[in-house]
Amino acid sequence: MKKIIAQLKDDKAYYGKYGQQWLSNSDLYSLLNDPTTFRQEKETTKAMIEGSYLHTAMLEPHKLKDYEIVDVSSRNTKAYKTAISESAQSILLLQSEVDNIEKCVQTMKSNIDFCENIYKLGNEFEVPIVGRIFGMDFKGKADIVCENTLIDIKTTGNIKDFKYSARKYNYDSQAYIYKELFGKHLEFYVVDKTTQQLGIFNPTEEFLDRGKNKVENALLVYNQFYGVDKTHDINQYISYEDL
């Protein structure tokens, strides 16, 4: 087990072929919304790379050198198009976007509750784990493991709507999976990218139950189309919905 955890600390292993031995919460999104896209390579979005940069700045700032940043006004400029053509990345951050993310980072670090809870002595960052849920192998990687809880850092475009986006992006199933794997309650520490407003969101039992149901439903789909004893051909998948 120690050898597995050590390997999964490397993002390339965790998100790559090695890590595909285990299901993850990100897999659930495909299984629940469009199982034909299960584990297909997904296009990197601006929101994804912004979130990645913020996590790195908060928890692993020594890795910020790995990000390519272009100081131009937009992605339509010749300079950006030249930079992206010479890069291995599909999207690069603009300096203005990095400046805004850094504002978010400073807002979180300057808040007493955020700073004390995130950087409390003894906390561990980016901690991987594996385990079984409903008889299936799962993995997870917690942003911050505290003595009694887990903290997950999120960004949002509108903090007032976070409780709705938390359902849309399956943060409920994430909270359930992490509670099962780590044996600890997960809290979401959120920063609004537009207003810099902060929020701490504590999952309720209803939220966790909804997450549990999503996991169960996703596993039904997985077993139908991808399990060892699969009963359906994914090429024949049809989505049924009442209007």
Question: Which CATH number is 105's domain given?
Answer: 3.90.320.10
Contact between 171 and 214 under an 8 Å Cβ cutoff? The reply is: no
Cβ partners under 8 Å of residue 195, min gap 6: 159
Total length of the chain: 243
Residues 92-125 pLDDT 10s: 999 999 999 999 999 999 999 999 999 999 999 9
Tell me phi and psi for residue 45, to 5 degrees.
-105, 165
pLDDT, tens digit, 9 for 90 and up, residues 151-179: 999 999 999 999 999 999 999 999 999 99
**Residue 1 falls inside a structural domain:** no
**Crossing angle between the packed helical segments 46-59 and 95-110, to the nearest 10 degrees:** 40
List the domain range (segments joined by +) for residue 220: 22-42+100-228
Residue 240 maps to a domain: no
Q: pLDDT per residue over 175-203, tens digit each?
A: 999 999 999 999 999 999 999 999 999 99
- Which positions ≥6 away from 57 have C-beta within 8 Å? 64, 101, 102, 105
- Residue 224's nearest CA partner among 216, 236, 212, 234 is 234
Q: What is the pLDDT of residue 227?
A: 92
DSSP 184: S
> Is residue 109 assigned to a domain?
yes
Task: Tell me if 183 is assigned to some domain.
Answer: yes
